[in-house]
A and B are shown apart, each in its own frame.
Chain A
Amino acid sequence: MIRFTVIRLVEIAAMLVLMSFVIYGLIGLMPGDPIDLMMGADPHLSAADLARLKAIYGVDRPLVERYFAWAHAALSGDLGYSRLFAAPVVGTLLPRLGNSLILMGSSFVVAFAASLGLGIAAARRPRSRFDAAVNLACFAGVSLPTFWLALILILVFAQRLGWLPASGIGSGGNGGIADWLRHLVLPAATLTLANIGGYTRYVRATMRDALGQDHIRTARAKGASEARVVWRHALRGALVPITTILALSFGTLVSGALVTETMFAYPGMGKLIFDGVMGNDYNLALAALLLATAVAMLANLVADLAYAWLDPRVSYR
């Protein structure tokens, strides 16, 4: 197990190095550098201004040279400055990362807990009215576009009822934790509703499969209570595929939710990555994408390790 883990960690490190080069190159291939974009906003820039600015921003050097300069600095812990936010990348990234972890984490926990309950209940009563109602609600949740759902929630809870604020993460620093939580409710609810359908469908399907297994029939024949059969025997078997979904979802915790963040003006990682890529902010985009990649890969490693813990038949050598 230790050997497996070490090998996977080395693979992840190698993959990150490769990804950093690929991402840097891909951003570099996009048309227009930051100075070209600046020129579009200010037609009075002269040729001399452009040459001077390109040198200051370092975009006059070949892409490969720029990449190695970045990599050298990154290895010594300096991820550089964000051009868009005029601040060090780490200082820009960390607050957004915190915001995304809170938003995505809270919606993930609520969505997963609810889908576990709903999925198991529906699996236990297949083709019942309850199962049909859960299925219908799941399809509705999966089909609704996130931006539309967000707008409806804003219109109902912020405009009509006036219960909750429609955007941002606070009322400008004077509202305390209650104010912060009130701002979190609508974006978290949007993500929860958007995700709960998919998770429930998955839990229901895996639980249905698990409940039909021979060892479940044996457990029932031995007189185990229904609760023990479901929670102890069936769920344990269903958890392996569910863990895969959990691991994949975990990666999104740091890559954020672009649409939801945009609709609620919520400063998270999704919007940061989008702005970094579109604004040719190499340092910012690269750091954010690498962080998302690293978390996704580590989550997969954790999932692999969890398989062995959940299923004694799985072992790594």
Chain B
Amino acid sequence: MLSATGVSAHDQLTIGLVQFPATLNPNIDVMAAKNYVLGFALRPLTVFDADWKIVCLLCTELPSFENGKAVATELPDGKKGVNLTYTIRPDAMWADGVPVTTDDVKFTYEVGRGKDSPVANAELYRRITAVDIKDDKTFTLHVDKLTYDYGAIDDFVLLPAHLERPAFADPTQYRLRTLYATDPTNPGLYNGPYRISEIGSGSYIVLEPNPHWAGPAPYFRRITVRVIENTAALEANLLSGTIDMVAGEVGLPLDEALAFDQRHGGGFNIVYKPGLTFEHIDCNLDVPALADRRVREALLLGLDRETMVKTLFAGRQAVADSFVEPQDAGFTDDDVPHYRYGPARAAQLLEEAGWLKQPDGTRKNADGKTLSLELATTAGNRSRELVEQVLQSQWKSIGVEIRIHNEPARVLFGETLLHRHFHLAMYAWSSAPENAPRSIFRSDEVPSEANSYAGENLGDYKNPEMDRIIDALEIELDAKKRKGLWAQAQRLYATDLPSLPLYFRSDAFVLPKWLSGVRPTGNQYPTTLWVADWGEKK
């Protein structure tokens, strides 16, 4: 079989994505497409694998109290910190032949801590109060908070000091001068199985094997990542053989993947992987009608989510009862209230809340106000627009009028949600395995002018008990006790209903039948981190 370029198709792989990475510097900006591409070329020290366990990629062993590489410390304020000792793999090399050393650790820390550094999420570096270098490969991080996931330093992705240090001479200019922007095909920027060898800006990225990679040799002599933003064109490219596969992480939306599966599924291996993306409807609790828990419960009972998921998504996405995904270690089903479709009970709750049914089918309260709510979501997202139609229709049948008010993503997220100008908003939260819901439920995470609109508690949910659980959860090291706290958080969420849970999103991976070794993770880490396992089926 020959590809369009006349080269044997199976020693190279062409992947379709719908997004092009803005920058390739691993510590500037957060973007799924960048994570996907860098997964081929850069090894983080630690990640969550496909079994949702923390594993070392660039280090030799995870620090733990058992192996003595994690040591609890007492901080001056009486709180507990932890010292974590990591050793970089002895054979780890940048693709220009320079070894990965603790000099890179020191430099990365310097970049992360810099006052004028453009590193997006500096929280990790703030928590690391000092770095001790033992030798070329071993270092100790002094962390000011002992959390249950203390061994994970996933965002600490090493930068090559021997190349990047001059670019950081003026931290304010680093984002412009980093070699990942000015010379992205420099082999010394990469330490994974592949290195980026060619970039067509906005169009494609070519990866070739890293000659200094010491792990198992990757199978493909060339991987090309093509960016095709239009999903219909993406499908056509797949069918024409211009691309071999579509990445699940940044590829076809589920509804389009299902339609493709029906028409052409026989020619491909289509894998559906449920993940941590939680589709829900945020309720703005400052809106008087939504401040009443009975109204929120009525809205949830008035919605037949099981049928909706079966009809719209062929049952490929699990109905959510809380914000914790069933594969997550913190998930529990015990004593968590479930809300099955119950329009009669929904109507009763609305009556109890003072919203009385009118002859025209609407509901009004004692002040004569109609129960009419605005529902916002991202315009152009077909899945959400389909769900919206179902919601509007089913809620109408219990007397709730829904006015659809969709906006482009940048307006919705950049303005409407940020400034909390909404009634109901349908969107998704993405998280990590066992990720404490601090930013979405803690009472001090409500975006406002005072905190520069940071935080994701958009509904203004405030419950001291939830605050206590979240604080306790983060520092509980005993897995069993932590599981208990997770259960409490889920019960409280399902009782308070600060948002209305819909379903957990699945990613669709469209793979060629001959490809083996691609194992979707379902978490924030892309399949490409394990590209050395990919190959051709025997």
Shortest CB-to-CB span from B207 to chain A, Å, is 10
Q: How many residues of A contact B (CB 8 A)?
A: 66
Residues of A within 8 A of B31 (CB): 41
Assess whether A105 is interfacial by the CB under 8 Å rule.
Answer: no
Answer whether A158 and B228 are a contact pair too, CB < 8 Å, given A37-B414, A267-B202: no
Q: Is the CB of A86 within 8 A of B22?
A: yes
B229: contacting residue among A49, A166, A262, CB under 8 A: A262
Shortest CB-to-CB span from B484 to chain A, Å, is 25
Q: Is the CB of B202 within 8 A of A271?
A: yes
Residues of A within 8 A of B202 (CB): 85, 96, 267, 271-272, 275
A147 vs B409: C-alpha distance in the bound complex, in angstroms?
22
Answer whether A49 and B122 are a contact pair too, CB < 8 Å, given A44-B439, A92-B201: yes
Q: Is the CB of A162 within 8 A of B240?
A: yes
Assess whether A113 is interfacial by the CB under 8 Å rule.
Answer: no
B411: contacting residue among A31, A151, A171, A271, CB under 8 A: A31
Q: Is the CB of B418 within 8 A of A267?
A: no
Q: Is the CB of A166 within 8 A of B237?
A: yes
Assess whether A76 is interfacial by the CB under 8 Å rule.
Answer: no
B122: contacting residue among A43, A52, A81, CB under 8 A: A52
Assess whether B415 is interfacial by the CB under 8 Å rule.
Answer: yes
Shortest CB-to-CB span from B481 to chain A, Å, is 25
Answer whether A262 and B230 are a contact pair too, CB < 8 Å, given A49-B122, A155-B236: yes
Q: Is the CB of A168 within 8 A of B200?
A: yes
Residue of B nearest to A56 (CB): B118
Q: Is the CB of A87 within 8 A of B4?
A: no
Assess whether A50 is interfacial by the CB under 8 Å rule.
Answer: yes
Assess whether B149 is interfacial by the CB under 8 Å rule.
Answer: no
Per-residue 0/1 for A77-117: is the Cβ within 8 Å of any B Cβ (1 yes, 0 no)? 00001011111000010011000000000000000000000
Per-residue 0/1 for B205-236: is the Cβ within 8 Å of any A Cβ (1 yes, 0 no)? 01000000000000000101011111011001
Q: Is the CB of B414 within 8 A of A151?
A: no
A168: contacting residue among B25, B172, B178, B226, CB under 8 A: B226
Per-residue 0/1 for B20-40: is the Cβ within 8 Å of any A Cβ (1 yes, 0 no)? 001111001111000000000
Q: Is the CB of A52 within 8 A of B116?
A: yes
Q: Is the CB of B123 within 8 A of A36?
A: no
Q: Is the CB of B5 within 8 A of A174?
A: yes
Residues of A within 8 A of B115 (CB): 52
Residue of B nearest to A50 (CB): B452
Assess whether B358 is interfacial by the CB under 8 Å rule.
Answer: no
Shortest CB-to-CB span from A197 to chain B, Å, is 23
Shortest CB-to-CB span from B70 to chain A, Å, is 23
Per-residue 0/1 for B396-437: is the Cβ within 8 Å of any A Cβ (1 yes, 0 no)? 000000000000111101111010000000000100000000
A255 vs B67: C-alpha distance in the bound complex, in angstroms?
62
Assess whether B451 is interfacial by the CB under 8 Å rule.
Answer: yes
Assess whether A278 is interfacial by the CB under 8 Å rule.
Answer: yes
Q: Is the CB of B201 within 8 A of A85?
A: yes
Residues of A within 8 A of B411 (CB): 30-32
B4: contacting residue among A42, A95, A165, A169, CB under 8 A: A165
- Contacting B at CB under 8 A, from A1-58, are 30-33, 36-56
Q: Is the CB of A159 within 8 A of B240?
A: yes
A85 vs B439: C-alpha distance in the bound complex, in angstroms?
29
Q: Is the CB of B440 within 8 A of A43?
A: yes
Q: Is the CB of B226 within 8 A of A87?
A: no
- Contacting A at CB under 8 A, from B85-103, are none
Assess whether A179 is interfacial by the CB under 8 Å rule.
Answer: yes
Assess whether B147 is interfacial by the CB under 8 Å rule.
Answer: no
Assess whether B182 is interfacial by the CB under 8 Å rule.
Answer: yes
Assess whether A299 is interfacial by the CB under 8 Å rule.
Answer: no
B226: contacting residue among A52, A173, A175, A265, CB under 8 A: A265
Residue of A nearest to B451 (CB): A47
Assess whether A167 is interfacial by the CB under 8 Å rule.
Answer: yes
Answer whether A172 and B236 are a contact pair too, CB < 8 Å, given A39-B418, A56-B175: no
Assess whether B204 is interfacial by the CB under 8 Å rule.
Answer: yes
Q: Is the CB of B120 within 8 A of A151?
A: no
Residues of B within 8 A of A42 (CB): 30, 120-121
- Contacting B at CB under 8 A, from A181-196, are none
Assess whether A198 is interfacial by the CB under 8 Å rule.
Answer: no
Residues of A within 8 A of B260 (CB): none
Q: Is the CB of A47 within 8 A of B452?
A: yes
Among B25, B240, B413, B456, residue most surrounded by chain A Cβ atoms (within 10 Å): B240
Q: Is the CB of B175 within 8 A of A32?
A: no
Q: Is the CB of A39 within 8 A of B453?
A: yes
With A168-B226, A171-B5 given, name 8 new contacts (CB 8 A). A49-B454, A55-B116, A56-B172, A85-B201, A85-B202, A172-B200, A265-B237, A279-B22
- A residues near B, CB below 8 A? 30-33, 36-56, 81, 83-87, 92, 95-96, 147, 150-151, 154-155, 158-159, 162, 165-175, 179, 262-267, 271-272, 275, 278-280
7 residue pairs, one from A and one from B, having the closest CB atoms: A32-B414, A31-B415, A158-B240, A86-B181, A40-B413, A159-B240, A86-B23
